[in-house]
Amino acid sequence: MPEPPSIGDPTPGVPGLLVLLSGSGRTLVNLAQAIAQAHLRARIAGVIASRVCAGCDRARELGIQPLVLPGVIPGNDLAQAAGSAGASLIVLAGYLQRVDVPANFAGRVVNIHPALLPSFGGKGMYGDHVHRAVLSAGCKVSGCTVHLVDAEYDRGPIVAQRACEVFDNDTPASLAARVFALECEAYPAAISLLLSGCARVVGQRVLAGAPA
């Protein structure tokens, strides 16, 4: 396996995020801004990209050398990369490959989807494909969903959702912009909840609060 991402000096006591991406890197930047503004107590421990993309450049701008790994990363290799980076959580940020969730990271791989799951999820449903489907279905409400990743696309337990109105004159681009604004709030908040340890999975639900 290639060497793990360059991560610099880890900060003691601050949980690390291993960010996986495939595109623009906007979500990576949003997380970095949330950290800088003290809305999220974490650090970007490393970045893995499924291809050379704009997100790689944005990672470098943050002082992180991304690791490009095409295709599905074997679970053991992903666990090794996360462990080498000192990551507490694996965070998908527009990552378009299926994730082979390592056994020791079950419940610690998180994704954000630009619709209100379980609607408009599944393989191939990402980006504008989702927003076009929402508009074609005549939905009056859309939004974003933060969920834990399991063996099926977009089927893991839901951590958080945010909703917005769908307007009659919406285009995929205008709806996407409004949903992404919600993502910028929802993702750091959900990651904070997961890192705090005050979340537990009950069936397909993630409940806030320590186990009874």
Q: Which of 113, 129, 131, 147 is catalytic?
A: 113
Tokens of 96: 């378009």
- Among this protein's residues, is 113 annotated catalytic? yes
Query: How many angstroms separate the CA atoms of 31 and 112, rounded?
Result: 12
Q: How many other CB atoms are there within 10 angstroms of residue 187's CB atom?
A: 25
Tokens of 145: 């969903």
Q: How many other CB atoms are there within 10 angstroms of residue 154's CB atom?
A: 21
Measured over the CA atoms of residue 209, residue 210, residue 211 and residue 212, the dihedral's sign is negative
Query: How many angstroms separate the CA atoms of 110 and 117, rounded?
Result: 14
Where in the sequence numbering do the catalytic residues fall? 113
